Amino acid sequence: MLTIYGKTLSSRLFLGTAQYPSPAILADAARASKPALLTVSLRREMAGGKTGSGFWDVVRELGIDLLPNTAGCHSAKEAITTAQMARELFGTDWIKLEVIGHHDMLQPDVFGLVEAARALSAEGFKVFPYTTTDIGVAERLLEAGCEVLMPWCAPIGSARGPQDVQALKSMRGYFPDVPLVVDAGLGRPSHAMTVLELGYDAVLLNTAVAGADDPVGMARAFALAVEAGRLAFESGMLEPRDMAVPSTPTFGMAEFS
């Protein structure tokens, strides 16, 4: 089982709550995939507490642990204040820390990220940093107090899947004991499975499920992929070979000539 910040998680799938056709479909997708965590955010309240309250009622009914995020924050200061407000609003000190460098790539700003991670860890937050595969940045996040790392494998929402498998392998090899969660860039269940096979501990998804033709079916497919990927990792896969090797024994072949 995967344990982060002393808490044992019920699965290796974290699911985002945005962009679903309806709150009901979000709820069905969550029931179909049983994620360990649901990510949520906070936004300006409009018109008397009615904004997205249908959404909020649905999420509370699901009874799944929440991981608030600081999505859209472009500075450490914004992210810190947003995290403080999220802690009160959602009643949890877990926070998915996003500090975004610039718009078109939604790439983590690693300087703002480390600064915010230090400040929030000092305030007792359990920080889940959205980061890159940069190992030097990862070391500073761990020094700052993070007990989990969430590298991207491709730009957010790009659905491209792992773009640099060597970099993912290096990060896994360099931090054998740190929970590593691939956050962002996954488009297909086979992408999620691939990173689990590499030994990553979990994945965080949103667009790939919410944007599918059938989000509920896709949520289930990802849940199975994550389970199978971990099982494959634990079962010891074959290494690729250059030459072909027969499966059926060649000993004892008949001769009909």
Partner 1 sequence: MKLIINGCEAQVSATRLDALIRELDHQDQWVATAVNGKMVPRDRRVAHALKEGDRIEILSPMQGG
The Cα–Cα gap between 146 and 60 comes to: 27
Give strand pairing partners of 182. Answer: 203
Both ends of the chain: CA-CA distance in Å? 58
Tell whether residue 2 is a contact of its own copies (CB under 8 A): no
Name which of 61, 33, 55 is nearest 42 in CA terms. 55
Q: In this structure, what token pair is assigned to residue 59?
A: 């999420």
Q: Decide which of partner 1, its own copies, none touches 56; Cβ closer than 5 to 8 Å per partner kind.
A: partner 1
Q: Which among 75-83, 87-95, 117-125, 142-150 is the span making contact with its own copies, rule CB under 8 A? A: 75-83
The Cα–Cα gap between 128 and 218 comes to: 25
Tell whether residue 107 is a contact of its own copies (CB under 8 A): yes
Q: In this structure, what token pair is assigned to residue 154?
A: 């491709």
10 DSSP assignment: S
Tell whether residue 122 is a contact of partner 1 (CB under 8 A): no
Considering only residues 3, 7, 19, 164, which one is a binding residue for partner 1 as defined by CB under 8 A? 19
Considering only residues 58, 66, 83, 106, which one is a binding residue for its own copies as defined by CB under 8 A? 106
Q: Which among 42-50, 131-139, 214-222, 236-244 is the span making contact with partner 1, rule CB under 8 A? A: 42-50
Choice among 7, 34, 50, 96 that is catalytic: 96
Tell whether residue 250 is a contact of partner 1 (CB under 8 A): no
Specify whether 7 is catalytic: no
Tell whether residue 170 is a contact of partner 1 (CB under 8 A): no
Tokens 């998915």 — which residue?
96
Tell whether residue 178 is a contact of its own copies (CB under 8 A): no
Tell whether residue 142 is a contact of its own copies (CB under 8 A): no
The Cα–Cα gap between 169 and 173 comes to: 6
Q: In this structure, what token pair is assigned to residue 164?
A: 């640099």
Catalytic residue positions, numbered: 96
